[in-house]
């Protein structure tokens, strides 16, 4: 009897709300467990559906993992890239990136660790990441990002307002300062003796502390 009931569920038409609920649940589980540790039964339980229904919508764990990875990319990079590739002044770019990324990471505490683990286990996904988040090829993305940022930095160095630095160093240093505390959150909290509330407060303060420190380091 239970087998027939399960078959009836599997044969129901696709429902956008159910699919979205399963993807939301998968996102939460994959963030906590990573691809290797995630289990379809846990995803089904979190979504409030039976195991067969998860397979009906996504067919396999790998297809679900790919969907979660694409969603994670969409959360992490677009705003930051849009700011860095814009014509905004350098100081404004630093402030906007710090504030926007910290806000996003405060609401997605497992995201940096998940992305780093996925990219270390599946390095081929780096190209997919770049293409998905930008809608273009990695080469075009680099041209868009560094083509604006590089001349800005060169101009500021010529005017003597900052010391000479390349766009790659600028991006790497800024992103590292923002992301590292979240990527290493358990270690940071343990070393510094922080609880969740004090960690959150410290990250909020970094919205102003990072730009001040970063811009001071750029001055000649």
Q: Compute the C-alpha angle 200/117/83, nearest 5°.
A: 60
State the pLDDT confidence band at 72, using cuts at 50, 70 and 90.
Answer: confident
State residue 116's pLDDT score.
Answer: 85
State residue 37's pLDDT score.
Answer: 85
State the pLDDT confidence band at 12, using cuts at 50, 70 and 90.
Answer: very low
- Decide which of 128 and 9 is more confident: 128
Asked if the domains 2-70 and 77-218 are classified in one and the same CATH topology, the answer is: yes
State residue 132's pLDDT score.
Answer: 67
77-218, CATH topology level: Tetracycline Repressor; domain 2 (1.10.357)
Q: What is the pTM of this model?
A: 0.77
Is residue 56 over pLDDT 50?
Answer: yes
What tokens appear for 82 in the block? Answer: 């849009």
- Decide which of 113 and 73 is more confident: 113
> CA 96, CA 164: separation in Å to the nearest integer?
22
> CA 195, CA 44: separation in Å to the nearest integer?
31
The answer to whether the CB of 153 falls within 8 A of the CB of 90 is yes
State residue 14's pLDDT score.
Answer: 54
- Domain boundaries 2-70, corresponding CATH code: 1.10.357.10
Domain ranges (residues) in the chain: 2-70, 77-218
The answer to whether the CB of 219 falls within 8 A of the CB of 161 is yes
């Amino acid at each position: 009897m239970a087998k027939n009931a399960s078959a009836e569920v599997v044969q129901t038409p696709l429902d956008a709300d159910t699919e979205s609920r399963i993807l939301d649940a998968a996102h939460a589980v994959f963030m906590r467990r990573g691809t290797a540790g995630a289990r379809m039964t846990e995803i089904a339980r979190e979504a409030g559906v039976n195991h067969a229904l998860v397979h009906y919508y996504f067919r396999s764990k790998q297809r679900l993992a790919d969907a979660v990875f694409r969603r994670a990319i969409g959360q992490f990079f677009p705003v930051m890239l849009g700011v860095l590739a814009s014509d905004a002044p350098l100081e404004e770019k630093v402030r906007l990136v710090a504030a926007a990324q910290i806000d996003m990471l405060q609401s997605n505490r497992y995201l940096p660790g998940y992305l780093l683990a996925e990219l270390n286990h599946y390095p081929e996904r780096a190209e997919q990441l770049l293409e998905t988040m930008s809608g273009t090829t990695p080469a075009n993305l680099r041209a868009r990002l560094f083509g604006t940022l590089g001349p800005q930095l060169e101009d500021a160095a010529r005017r003597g307002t900052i010391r000479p630095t390349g766009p790659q160093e600028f991006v790497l240093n800024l992103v590292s300062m923002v992301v590292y505390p979240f990527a290493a959150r358990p270690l940071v909290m343990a070393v510094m003796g922080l609880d969740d509330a004090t960690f959150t407060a410290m990250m909020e303060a970094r919205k102003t502390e990072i730009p001040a420190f970063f811009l001071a380091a750029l001055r000649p």
